[in-house]
Structure 1
Amino acid sequence: MSRFNQVTDRMNTRSVKWDLTESLFKSEEVLPMWVADMDFQIPKAVTDAIADRAAHGIFGYTVTDEKIHQSIKNWLSKQHDWNINTKWLSYSPGVVPSLHTMMEALTDKDDQILIQTPVYPPFYDVIKNHERTIVKNPLHQQDGKYEIDFDDFEKKLKQGVKAFILCNPHNPVGRVWTKEELQKMANLCLKHNVMIFSDEIHADLIFPGHKHIPIASLSDDIAQSTITCLSPTKTFNLAGLQVSYIVTPDAEYRKKVNDQFGLQGIKMLNTLGITALEAAYDHGDEWLEELISVLEDHKKYLMDTIHSQTNQIQVVEPEGTYLVWLDCRGLGLSHEELKSFMQEKAKIGLNDGASFGEEGEGFMRINIACPRPILEDGVQRILQAIHSKE
């Protein structure tokens, strides 16, 4: 049996996905396929490294040294053809804390911050909680694929936008922006003196036929205007270990971000997070290659099965991530009715599309990073609920 088909019982492990099912979805019968973590065992090399470190028995203050910096540098070079200077690195417990820090360090109250909606819900909080102003550049669906409205993008930048939070690969619509799209966005940001905060946490999870390009890798000028957030946590299922890093080529921006981390008291990562990062980046290639193959099969199963059995849900084909955007507008339900339908009739726990912005109404997000039996169960629950409704 493939290590990715092995079903592991995650109940009673304080799992957000599994142990909170009843409190979140009002029934323990609901199958949770929502939050962005995987139901797969992590690479053995990472488990072994954590076990070896744990066996030492002492967990004092721990530094990120040159060996860790080099692991990150090598990974970004090998996976994304991006040659960074290790002096550009800063560390954080997660991408969302990093975005909050960047917002506080590099923007001011009432500054306009651009996002491309529908988008990852914490982006809204990162802007609103710091009393900045949300500016939307809604993505447009063209023949089932999401595209950027560049006329609107520039129009919004001209209004005095201070920073643009890029999501690449995009969560939830699954786009992996092309070099041409990235270049066009970056050139417009340079033209209008707009900083780019780039969330690239899903960078390694790319389907065949597509390639992730860090926007900061396009040119030196773009790099100097960009702060990039990355992490091994989505790639290798390490979210609970809280480890991420920021790449900031501009020395002034980097100092401001690091000073802000200092004000928050965030000075170092946890010992096991550092251990996991190093082991994953140094030894995780083969595991990741197999994961992508499994996710490709899961994506195909999801699309083929749903599209062959109903025309009431359209699966938006993802180019990256293990999160799939479902267009459920064909069910003819209000958004509240759609949520109830999935939760109470289908007995499946999905992400509410409206949480990604008003552009997500009528949509739901499903996580396909689970053993095949769980995926099949979830898909059949949805189809059976649709057929019983007809």
Structure 2
Amino acid sequence: MKGFDYLQEQLDQMKDEGTFRELIPLESAQGSRVQIKGKEVIQLSSNNYLGLTSHPKLKLAAEQAIKEFGVGTGSVRTIAGTLKMHEEFEQKLAKFKHTEAALVFQSGFTTNQGVLSSILTDQDVVISDELNHASIIDGIRLTKAARKVYKHVNMESLEQALKETQNYRKRIVVTDGVFSMDGNIAPLPDIVMLSEKYDALIMVDDAHASGVLGNNGRGTVNHFGLDGRVHIQVGTLSKAVGVLGGYVASTQTLKDYLIHKGRPFLFSTSHPPAVTAACEAAVDVLLEEPSLIETLWENTKFFKDGLTKMGFDTGISETPITPILIGDDAKTLQFSDLLFDYGVFAQGIVFPTVPKGKARIRTIVTAEHTKEELAEALNAMERAGKELNII
């Protein structure tokens, strides 16, 4: 069929530049080791921080929910698709997050889109960190609000933006809690202090902090002791929680408003029973098995120390997200391919996901990894890094 020649030209250019990538299907369950192309490799590219994708309690909860309620809900939440379990899970989630209420969306991406697009008008302004997640950027694009972008985690730049926007009805400062490509933590105490000084709302996307930072994995707000001082907390149920979905934790007022105005919530079928039951079981695991988070951080330190000793550049990472900064797109993908040959699955991240010249291998260790597996991965990285003159 004719008509897509202009798209094919761009794809051909990507192939010429060595940046075109096929999807890579896994042939096994997610874990510290996975099977790809018939080969068992160490998994270092998954967001499965705590190994909950295959936790027995989550699997059992999902199975029981299917037997009792079936595989789907048959409707959106606002018509006939709200099961009692949906409301019970949201109540448990709000209690876990130390907020008045919580509302679950179909994904973390749609949560950011739904919140930002519905609560802001042309009378308002949104102030965003320049390295915020794509879902925040797209959510902002869906609003008619004015936009200000401040330099990454730069509080002088943020304060300048706050000073310049005092004539708007509402100002909202939006930041990732943990930045997904660099693994650094937002200076949330400073952001809260400035926002309170200039009477601005605060929204934190804790996608990569949920289940990782704070008591029992409550996120960056709890990690910094700021419960009750951040207006909107967004998170995912698909990374450390191990299942699927996103949520907003805030006031009952915001929840009620989003039920009526949040377009992704209004126009998407609700989560299947198995998903909701598994998510609820995951919160129980976070509360009952804190050793998983302790192991995650022990493994993180072991792996980071190993990379640093070898001479790899891991940037400003403070979390289990540990980038290996290379710069050149093609060389980064070559490194990823070589690692696979040596038994490690670690995907290269290149433009447009990151800026030109900032290509990297983004690794994430999990609580499931053994020290032996991490040592094996480090050996493979040293071998590949020397072969390509990266170290």
- TM-score above 0.5, yes or no: yes
**For residue 340 of structure 1, what is the aligned residue in structure 2?**
333
1:366 is aligned to: 363
CA contact (8 A) 1:117 1:356 kept: no
Match of residue 47 from structure 1? 59
Contact 2:110–2:246 (8 Å) recurs in 1: no
Q: 5+ residue gaps in structure 2? A: 1-24, 74-80
Instruction: Work out whether residues 62 and 277 of structure 2, in 8 Å CA contact, stay in contact via their aligned partners in 1.
Output: yes
AA paired with 2:48?
D
Task: Show CA shifts across 1:263-290 (max 9, x none).
Answer: 7423633211221122222344344x23
Q: 1:199 to 1:171 in 2, by over 3 A?
A: same
**Superposed displacement of residue 130, structure 1:** 5.3
Cα distance, 1:106 vs. partner? 1.6
- For 1:109 and 1:132, the matched residues in 2 are separated by 4
Indicate how the Cα distance of structure 1 residues 338 and 127 shifts in structure 2: closer, same or farther if over 3 A, else same: farther
Task: Indicate conservation of the 8 Å contact 2:106/2:246, yes or no.
Answer: yes
Query: What is the aligned partner in structure 1 of residue 323 from structure 2?
Result: 325
Whether 1:158 aligns to 2:183 is: no
Mapped to 2, the partners of 1:14 and 1:54 lie a distance apart of 20
Give the C-alpha shift of residue 66 in structure 1.
5.4
Cα displacement (A) at 1:200: 1.8
* Contact kept in structure 1, 2:108 and 2:236, CA below 8 Å: yes
**RMSD of aligned alpha carbons:** 4.1
Q: Is the CA contact (8 Å cut-off) linking 1:165 and 1:198 kept in structure 2?
A: yes
Does 2:191 align with 1:185? yes
Match of 2:118 in 1: 105
Counterparts of 1:138 and 1:359, CA distance in 2: 18
Q: Secondary structure at the match of 2:70?
A: coil
Identity %: 11
Q: Which residue does the alignment assign to 2:287?
A: 285
Specify which of 209, 213, 220 is matched with residue 212 of structure 1: 220
Give the secondary structure class of the aligned counterpart of 1:236.
Answer: coil
The one-letter code of the counterpart of 1:281 is: V
- Corresponding position of 1:379: 378
Contact 1:101/1:261, CA 8 A, preserved across alignment: yes
1:234 partner SS: coil
State the partner residue of 2:68.
56
**Inter-partner Cα distance in structure 1 for 2:118 and 2:200:** 15
Counterpart of 1:244 in structure 2 is: 246
- Check whether the contact 1:118–1:358 (CA below 8 A) recurs between aligned residues: no
Q: Structure 1 residues 192, 57: CA separation in 2 closer, same or farther (over 3 Å shift)?
A: closer
The one-letter code sitting in structure 1 at the alignment partner of 2:262 is: F
Query: Which is richer in helix?
Result: 1
With the length of structure 2 as denominator, give the TM-score of the two structures: 0.70
The 5-angstrom pairing of residues 262-281 of structure 1 reads 264-266=266-268, 268-281=270-283
- Alignment of structure 1 residues 163-182 onto 2, 5 Å: 163-177=172-186, 181-182=187-188
Who is 2:4 aligned against? none
- SS of equivalent to 2:172: strand
What are structure 1's unaligned runs of at least 5 residues?
1-9, 77-81, 140-147, 329-333
Distance in 1, matches of 2:332 and 2:141, equals 26
Structure 1 pair 314–97 and aligned structure 2 pair: CA distance change class (3 A): closer
Q: 1:304 aligns to what?
A: 305
Partners of 1:131 and 1:378 in 2: CA distance? 47
Tell me the matched-pair count. 340
Provide the rounded CA distance (Å) in 1 between the counterparts of 2:307 and 2:284.
Answer: 38
